[in-house]
């Protein structure tokens, strides 16, 4: 069987592949994400623009593998959130986390998960959209959210933990909210001609 490489250091994406019985190896070829982020404006943008931006990130992560990997397929992914004209990315710090969650409080937020696959000279990609509505978040709940380590690595779209009781509406989540939709991965692998079923 051909190999599957996960071009991501995300433990969540790796866990999804494991849960689906897919044998894979993690192979990282980092890109300068900061430079990419700085090259794109994040405010006053449409949801369509945010979707294109997320797709671009996943494909850029794939580019270092093109022509290098000869014995299998590579999967990359990226997730961004869009709310009220603003692209939200991983907050990393508690201060930024609070700022972002104050912003999405009482609003609907779209999680845009971009998937990209490379195999034998072929590249395919797809962006899955999910939607979550968040009630107004009290100050003490914002404190709890910002003290959850997982939240610092989710761009305003995590629906577990302290925020769970304030999610009033959601659509299209499941594995997408964890950063990878296995059904999409399978379709993309088929599209690029990957010979083995996963």
Mean pLDDT of the 14-41 span: 90
Identify the pLDDT of residue 177: 57
Q: Spell out a b/e string for 145-157, using b for 16 or more CB atoms within 10 Å of the CB, else e.
A: bbebeebbbbbbb
Domain residue limits, the chain: 3-191
Identify the pLDDT of residue 37: 82
Q: Quote the tokens at residue 88.
A: 């939200």
Span 178-198, pLDDT tens digits? 688 999 999 999 999 999 988
Percent pLDDT > 70 in the chain is 95
Highest mean pLDDT pick, 83-87, 88-92, 153-157: 83-87
Over the chain, what is the mean pLDDT? 90
Confidence category of residue 154, pLDDT binned at 50, 70, 90: confident
Identify the pLDDT of residue 75: 98
Identify the pLDDT of residue 9: 87
Identify the pLDDT of residue 67: 92
* H or E element in which residue 103 lies: helix 94-104
Q: What is the CATH number of domain 3-191?
A: 3.90.950.10
Look up the pTM and report it: 0.88
CA distance 161 to 24: 29
Q: Judging by beta carbons within 10 Å of its beta carbon (0-12, 13-18, 19+), is residue 12 exposed, middle or buried?
A: middle
Residue with tokens 């869009």: 82
Helix 139-146 to helix 94-104 angle, to the nearest 10 degrees? Answer: 130
- Quick check: 180 and 17 in contact, CB under 8 A? yes
Please report, for residues 17, 59, 194, the alpha-carbon distance to residue 126 in angstroms, rounded to integers and kept in the order given. Answer: 18, 10, 16
Mean pLDDT of the 37-52 span: 93
Q: What is the DSSP letter of 93?
A: S
Identify the pLDDT of residue 149: 87
């Amino acid at each position: 069987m051909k190999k599957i490489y996960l071009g991501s250091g995300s433990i969540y994406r790796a866990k999804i592949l494991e849960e689906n019985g897919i044998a894979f190896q993690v192979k990282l070829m980092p890109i300068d994400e900061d430079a990419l982020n700085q090259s794109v404006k994040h405010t006053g943008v449409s949801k369509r623009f945010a979707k294109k931006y997320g797709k671009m990130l996943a494909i850029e992560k794939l580019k270092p593998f093109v022509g290098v990997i000869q014995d299998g397929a590579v999967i990359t992914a990226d997730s961004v959130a869009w709310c009220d004209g603003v692209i939200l990315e991983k907050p990393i710090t508690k201060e930024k986390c609070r700022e972002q969650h104050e912003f999405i409080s009482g609003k609907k937020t779209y999680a845009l998960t971009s998937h990209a696959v490379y195999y034998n000279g072929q590249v395919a990609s797809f962006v899955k959209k999910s939607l979550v509505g968040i009630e107004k978040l009290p100050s003490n709940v914002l404190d709890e959210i910002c003290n959850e380590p997982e939240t610092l690595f989710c761009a305003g779209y995590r629906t577990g933990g302290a925020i769970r009781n304030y999610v009033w509406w959601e659509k299209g989540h499941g594995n997408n909210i964890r950063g990878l939709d296995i059904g999409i991965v399978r379709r993309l692998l088929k599209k690029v001609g990957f010979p083995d079923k996963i």
